[in-house]
Homo-oligomer: A and B are copies of this chain.
């Protein structure tokens, strides 16, 4: 098995919640849990440590990073820099049609939420959420930027996994996204940027308040 496969498998277990923040494992335990051999695991762990998702503690093992206030604040600060920067660039050029479809899906989710908010709908909401934010970045066709945002977004995924995306947040979050898109399409450049900043601040605050649950 290659390092890149070990890397992907480790992340899958991390985002599935099978490896939880703050937990400590020996490399041997990790091999068993994930079902991979030690050499590719070791290579992958070095890269994942560079991304700040684990700590390698000599003679003890692997500690999954704790999702605490510092982790949330640092992640959201960078996320804001990259996404707000990207939105400014997108507005300077022209608005790509892809956001129209995203807005349609968000309105569909809102409509479905009037009937029942179940885990299926929450999953759809999380997916369109991720798709929207990653689209802001991928629109710029900058592979290094995409790579850095991916790393920051992995942290956001870890935060979301460990602090619930509650049903009360579903409709407001969709409305915030729709507002960003509408301001953008309506040529309200400054409003659109303020809307994105506000959306990220609300999300961050929700996660900070949720921190006690951990």
Contact B47 A50 (CB under 8 A): yes
Contact B148 A77 (CB under 8 A): no
CA distance A147 to B75 in the complex (A): 12
> How many copies of the shown chain assemble into the complex?
2
Q: Which A151-167 residues sit within 8 Å CB-CB of chain B?
A: 151-152, 155
A90 within 8 A of B: no
CA distance A74 to B144 in the complex (A): 7
A147 CB → nearest B CB, Å: 8
Question: Per DSSP, are chain A's interface residues mostly helix, strand or loop, or mixed?
Answer: helix
Question: Sorted from nearest, which 8 A-B pairs have the closest CB atoms?
Answer: A81-B85, A74-B142, A74-B144, A78-B145, A81-B81, A52-B144, A81-B82, A148-B148
Residues of A whose CB lies within 8 Å of any CB of B are: 3, 43, 46-47, 50, 52, 73-75, 77-78, 80-82, 84-86, 89, 140, 142-145, 147-148, 151-152, 155
